[in-house]
């Protein structure tokens, strides 16, 4: 199958590109390298540097490579930034997304797997969060993801587009070759590791006054290799479930302090940290119910232990303390 992967030079995208290539797919990557790295794209993939909202570039790609399906990772994702610059998030995550869908229609490509987010739910009304939970985002990032989910629904009903929206909870971990080397690292586990590698002075934990067991946020961590497998299962089940939306997590919640303790256990090092004020837009608890994905996609996480997720991230960052080298242009 010929796959177009948007954001394929990023953290999750690069790992999925690697795995899709191993499965024998032809992979074409488009990435503007604002957060991703050219070095994270294997030479077996065809690479285009550019924005997924560039209609002219998209037309070239679809015409030249006869794309069968799109794996859509590319997005602005920093929640805190979305609170201060919502226009950027709506323009990139929604407007550019519509351009992508229209380019697909013109090329008669009718299959897409969309990287959505647990942020579409907002503050949970109950735990674990299943697909029936009301979607009431509390930040523009989550709103932009929800808007695109709704657009996919309309394109499905009007044009016959087949899609699955995969709502990641907290992606974590690494493969042997690729990990989280975003230019603006914000995810908790890689930030902690940066502290241990002396790239940050200390960890800031945002908020210790939440209504949780230790006052810090609780999140559900899912290994990126398990996320990849969900994409494989979604692609295989598009005909049977052509408008599916699925929550992807392990169904277990760990507080920020528990994550710190796990990193200390895995690495044998103490993590210096301090508490800081809450970040706007952060819900207290997010834990997934992935029962629907298990039932319809036959998907089950194989890397469910937080210790194993942390160990894979630690191994990658220890071997790549400076991430990837300077981006090679061209």
Domains, the chain, ranges and CATH? 2-173+221-249 (3.40.50.720)
User: Residue 330 above 50 pLDDT?
Assistant: no
Comparing 27-36, 108-117, 269-278, 280-289, which segment has the lowest mean pLDDT? Answer: 280-289
First and final C-alpha spacing in the chain? 26
**Tokens read off for 307:** 């210790």
SS3 content of the chain, % helix, strand, coil (to 5): 40, 20, 40
pLDDT at 329 over 80: no
Instruction: Report the alpha-carbon distance of residue 31 to residue 118 in Å, rounded.
Output: 23
207 sits in the region (left: phi over 0; alpha: psi -120 to 50; else beta) called left
The tokens for 146 are 């929800």
Segment 156-168 shows an average pLDDT of 99
Q: What's residue 326's pLDDT? A: 44
Active-site pick, 11, 48, 126, 141: 141
Determine the pLDDT at residue 107.
98
Q: For the segment 88-113, what is each residue's pLDDT rounded down to a tens digit?
A: 999 999 999 999 999 999 999 999 99
pLDDT of residue 183: 67
Q: How confident is the model at residue 186 (pLDDT cuts 50, 70, 90)?
A: confident
Choose between 279 and 221: higher pLDDT: 221
Residue 325 scores a pLDDT above 80: no
Query: Is 141 one of the catalytic residues?
Result: yes
- Structural contact between residues 287 and 201, judged by C-beta atoms closer than 8 angstroms: no
């Amino acid at each position: 199958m010929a796959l177009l992967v948007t954001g394929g030079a990023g953290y999750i995208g690069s790992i999925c590109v690697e795995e899709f290539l191993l499965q024998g797919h032809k992979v074409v990557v488009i990435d503007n390298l604002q957060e991703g790295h050219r070095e994270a794209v294997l030479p077996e993939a065809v690479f285009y540097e550019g924005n997924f909202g560039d209609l002219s570039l998209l037309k070239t790609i679809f015409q030249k490579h006869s794309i069968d399906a799109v794996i859509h990772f590319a997005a602005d994702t920093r929640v805190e930034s979305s609170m201060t610059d919502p226009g950027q998030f709506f323009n990139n995550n929604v407007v550019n997304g519509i351009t992508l869908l229209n380019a697909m229609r013109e090329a008669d490509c009718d299959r897409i797997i969309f990287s959505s987010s647990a942020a579409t739910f907002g503050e949970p009304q109950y735990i674990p969060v299943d697909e029936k939970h009301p979607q009431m985002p509390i930040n523009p990032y989550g709103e932009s993801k929800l808007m695109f989910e709704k657009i996919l629904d309309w394109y499905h009903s009007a044009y016959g587009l087949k899609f699955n929206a995969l709502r990641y909870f907290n992606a974590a971990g690494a493969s042997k070759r690729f990990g989280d080397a975003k230019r603006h690292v914000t995810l908790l586990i890689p930030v902690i590791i940066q502290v241990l590698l002396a790239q940050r002075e200390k960890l800031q934990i945002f908020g210790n006054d939440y209504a949780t067991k230790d006052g810090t946020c609780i999140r559900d961590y899912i290994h990126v290799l398990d996320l990849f497998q969900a994409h494989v299962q979604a692609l295989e089940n598009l005909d049977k479930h052509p408008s599916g939306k699925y929550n992807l997590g392990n169904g277990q919640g760990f507080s920020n302090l528990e994550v710190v303790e796990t990193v200390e256990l895995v690495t044998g090092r103490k993590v210096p940290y301090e508490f800081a004020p809450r970040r706007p837009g952060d819900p207290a608890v997010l834990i997934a119910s992935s029962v629907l994905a298990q039932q319809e996609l036959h998907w089950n996480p194989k890397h469910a232990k937080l210790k194993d997720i942390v160990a894979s991230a630690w191994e990658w960052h220890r071997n790549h303390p400076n991430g990837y080298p300077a981006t090679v242009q061209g």
